[in-house]
Structure 1
Amino acid sequence: MSAPRLTRRGAALLLAGAPALLARPALVRATTSSRPAWPADRPVRVIVPLAAGGTADFLARHLASRLQELTGQSFVVENRTGGGGAVGWQAVARAAPDATTVLLTDNSLAIAAAAGRDVGFDPRQDLEPVSLLAQYPPLLTAAPSLPVQDLKGFLAYAKARPGQLFYGSGGIGSVPHLQAELLQEAAGIRLNHVSYRGMAQAVTDLIGGQVQFILPVYPTVAGQLRGGALKPMAVGAAERLPALPDLPTAREQGLDFVHHAWFGLLAPRGTPQEALAGMQAVMASAMSGQDFGRRLEETGATVPGAETAAFREAMASEIALWSRVLREHNIKVE
């Protein structure tokens, strides 16, 4: 799934014969070409704070390939893992604000801010939202061994057994963990949490019956769904997913539960407004392509608008939400 990297020599060949770019430090002036221009005159690093091979890595490489195709400029994905995301976040928060280093991350950044984690910078202040890229709603999935056929049946089964069923997540304070806390609030059920070092083992134990419920996103369980090992009961989205058109939403089954794992692009604090506007414009062009959106939808994603203001508001709203959930449910995130 890795996007091909464009070398300096390759970039030069692609741009041969195109109008010259009249550059100034950190920003690139408008060109006479119809191509949108990223506001930087050097290769752009896309920092991913998660391991290669995961959803964030796929999105970053898919985006880098699209941006290179669209602009003729070079975008290189770098995986900076460690510290629960902090290593990658820091690399961008401390980078020069010249549009040559950007961050592709997920909700874990908002959770870190809500939890007051010491990540070496202020997540609320030291990164500038540029654009949402993709949203992945959770799939409400019960163990195959449970005698339930749909979401209503599962909720009735759980209500009759308060505190007797277990759900798995990818760790304390992970998105699936906190989403499950929200779901219990909405449904009026009480489940016990089992924390794993990632969702893969949670999926394995769900199939084996060690836990009875999980909230994975589609890429995590795509293989098990194709093989028939799992059958989700509902999707926690406002509308059905193009990738799973026969799967009803939770709302269709009487449960008001809508939430997403999101992935978005951010830049260092101090990036000039002109540069942020230029980056957002290029992202809007990239995301408007039908092939780009269709490829994301095939992985179970929904593709939101690219407006910076909407992303900023969504982050602020989510930080407030997770702050409440962590406080009221007495969850400590290290």
Structure 2
Amino acid sequence: MPDQQHPRGAGPRITRRAAAWLLGAPALLPRRGLAQPAPGATPWPADKPVRLVVTLAAGGTADFLARSLAQRLQEITGNTFVVENRTGGSGAVGWQAAARAAPDATTLLVMDNSLPIAAAAGRDIGFNLARDLEPVWLLAQYAPIVLVNPSLPVTDLPGFVAYAKSRPGQLFYGSNGIGSVTHLQTELLQAATGIQMNHVSYRGMAQAATDLVAGQVQLMLPVYPTVAGQIRAGALKPLAVGTEGGRVPVMPEVRSAREQGIDFAEQTWFGLMAPRGMPPELLSGMQAALAAACAGDAFRRRLEEAGATVPDGKATPFRNTVTREVALWTRVLKEREIKIE
């Protein structure tokens, strides 16, 4: 079905509680007063700060994750971590800054599905993903929420599928842009269920959510931080989450699509990349530090309260995730005949 451009809106935002925490969290975290690691326990140099490059503006989900991780890593290593927001070029400015940095572990990129999508689409991003960046660690996953307006006469995902099939081409879904994660995930949902909807492209998920509340579109697949307030207020109805079978800790009452008999499981994820060319012992040292950071109860609880799940990076090697994603989105773009400018 044809896409429709919608000029309004801003980028996805996190919950007010998390945003308030971010406003009080400095980008450069002070080292004084933190527990010092044992000699040789950190792979990072003591005399140089570590940059965590985020390709989106402060206040969003990626920024929240980066600041949470920076705080945790600093607590366990004593190193200084700087969150650096490098926006522009639909992510390319920040991606290039990381890809062209020295391979000394002092520059890390906080990335999501959008970089493999760009690689799959053949975008000219100024470097080669497979050649120039090294996958380091899978940090967090956010299940897309199949979300509808409460006025729709459906209570679960199979009910919505039946509703949509009785109205082929008459319903609309919103995303934050052609070729975005939310756009392609919804295309996957359509392919899995055989429904046909029209795409309305917004500049950000906040405006898409506003129009969903108003009934201008009938469905969207955001992540929890974007719509937490509207879900809690009952302004939007979650029908399913796109996990591999389990539920999301912050919404335990919402069944997964697979629990409802529909094979849709494609999560939004965030991970860390580093410039290619690091010595193997440096990479393994970083992975050990990241494993310790992500295993902390307080860190895990903070992310889960914001709608994420924290995977076991050892059980789910990030390199496998990136390779799988490039292959997946290459197939989806071809099969769904989607062109990304």
| Structures share fold, TM-score greater than 0.5 | yes
SS in 2 for 1:294: helix
Counterpart of 1:84 (choices 72, 76, 90) is 90
Q: 1:230 and 2:250 equivalent?
A: no
* Conserved 8 A contact 2:190-2:196: yes
Counterpart of 2:44 (choices 32, 35, 39) is 39
Equivalent residue for 1:115? 121
* Conserved 8 A contact 2:51-2:82: yes
Equivalent residue for 2:10? none
Structure 1 gap segments, 5+ residues each: 20-30
Q: 1:261 and 2:261 equivalent?
A: no
Change in 2 beyond 3 A, CA 1:154/1:261: same
The amino acid that maps onto 1:270 is: G
* Conserved 8 A contact 1:169-1:194: yes
Task: After superposition, give the CA deviation of every residue in 1:124-159 in whole Å (9 maximum; x if it has no partner).
Answer: 221101001000010001122322222121110001
* Conserved 8 A contact 2:99-2:275: yes
Equivalent residue for 1:326? 333
Equivalent residue for 2:132? 126
Change in 2 beyond 3 A, CA 1:53/1:12: closer
* Conserved 8 A contact 2:28-2:80: yes
Structure 1 position 71, deviation (Å): 0.7
Counterpart of 2:309 (choices 302, 313, 322) is 302
* Conserved 8 A contact 1:135-1:302: yes
SS in 2 for 1:232: strand
* Conserved 8 A contact 2:44-2:79: no
Structure (1 or 2) with the larger CA radius of gyration: 1
* Conserved 8 A contact 1:129-1:308: no
1:22-101, aligned counterparts within 5 Å?
31-32=38-39, 36-41=41-46, 42-101=48-107
SS in 2 for 1:267: strand
* Conserved 8 A contact 2:172-2:219: yes
Output the TM-score relative to the length of structure 2: 0.89
Tell me how large the CA RMSD over aligned residues is.
1.7
Equivalent residue for 1:25? none
Counterpart of 1:11 (choices 18, 21, 31) is 31
Output the TM-score relative to the length of structure 1: 0.91
SS in 2 for 1:125: helix
Cα distance in 2, alignment partners of residues 207 and 325 from structure 1: 29
Q: Percent identity?
A: 65
Structure 2 gap segments, 5+ residues each: 1-20
Change in 2 beyond 3 A, CA 1:14/1:54: closer
Structure 1 position 40, deviation (Å): 2.6
Task: After superposition, give the CA deviation of every residue in 1:7-64 in whole Å (9 maximum; x if it has no partner).
Answer: 6xx536657xx69xxxxxxxxxxx547xx31333311011000111000000000000
The amino acid that maps onto 2:108 is: V
* Conserved 8 A contact 2:54-2:63: yes
- The number of residue pairs the alignment matches comes to 317
Tell me which stretches of 4 or more aligned residues in structure 1 moved more than 2 Å: 1-7, 10-15, 38-41
SS in 2 for 1:304: coil
Counterpart of 1:249 (choices 234, 241, 256) is 256
1:137-152, aligned counterparts within 5 Å?
137-152=143-158
The amino acid that maps onto 1:225 is: I
SS in 2 for 1:45: strand
